[in-house]
Amino acid sequence: MSGSLTVIGLGPGDARWITPAASAALEAATDLVGYGPYLDRAPEREGQRKHASDNRVEVERARFALDLAAEGRRVAVVSGGDPGVFAMAAAVFEALDGGGPQWRDIAITVEPGITAMLAAASRIGAPLGGDFCALSLSDNLKPWDIIEKRLKAALSADFVIALYNPISKARPWQLGAALALAAEAHPPETPVIFARAVGRPGETVTVASVRDAATVAADMSTLVIIGASTTRLIPREGGAPYVYTPRFYGVRP
Among 5, 10, 18, 29, binds its own copies (CB under 8 A): 18
Scan residues 172-231 and list those touching its own copies (CB under 8 A). Answer: none
Cβ-based nearer residue to its own copies, 49 or 179: 179
Minimum distance from residue 200 beta carbon to its own copies (Å): 14
Question: Is the distance from CB of 97 to CB of 65 less than 8 angstroms?
Answer: no
> Which residues have a Cβ under 8 Å from the Cβ of 162 and sit 6 or more positions away?
116, 117, 120, 128, 132, 133, 134, 135, 223, 224, 225
Among 5, 32, 78, 89, binds its own copies (CB under 8 A): 89
Residue type, 8: I
Q: Single out the residue of 86, 65, 83 nearest to residue 5, CA to CA.
A: 65
Residue 57 in contact with its own copies, rule: CB under 8 A: no
Residue 133 in contact with its own copies, rule: CB under 8 A: yes
> Which residues have a Cβ under 8 Å from the Cβ of 194 and sit 6 or more positions away?
204, 205, 206, 207, 208, 213, 216, 217, 218, 222, 223, 224
Residue 43 in contact with its own copies, rule: CB under 8 A: no
Residue 79 in contact with its own copies, rule: CB under 8 A: no
Residue 136 in contact with its own copies, rule: CB under 8 A: yes
Among 60, 140, 180, 219, binds its own copies (CB under 8 A): 140
Residue 4 in contact with its own copies, rule: CB under 8 A: no
Residue 91 in contact with its own copies, rule: CB under 8 A: yes
Residue 110 in contact with its own copies, rule: CB under 8 A: yes
Residue 96 DSSP class: H
Residue 111 in contact with its own copies, rule: CB under 8 A: yes
Residue 80 in contact with its own copies, rule: CB under 8 A: no
Please choose, out of 42-50, 77-85, 187-195, 215-223, the segment that lies near its own copies by the rule CB under 8 A: 77-85
234: how many CB neighbours lie within 10 A of its CB? 9
Among 3, 34, 80, 125, binds its own copies (CB under 8 A): 125
Question: Is the distance from CB of 79 to CB of 61 less than 8 angstroms?
Answer: no
C-alpha dihedral, 157 to 179 to 119 to 191, nearest 10°: -80
Among 20, 100, 201, 202, binds its own copies (CB under 8 A): 20
- Rounded CA separation 188/65 (Å): 48
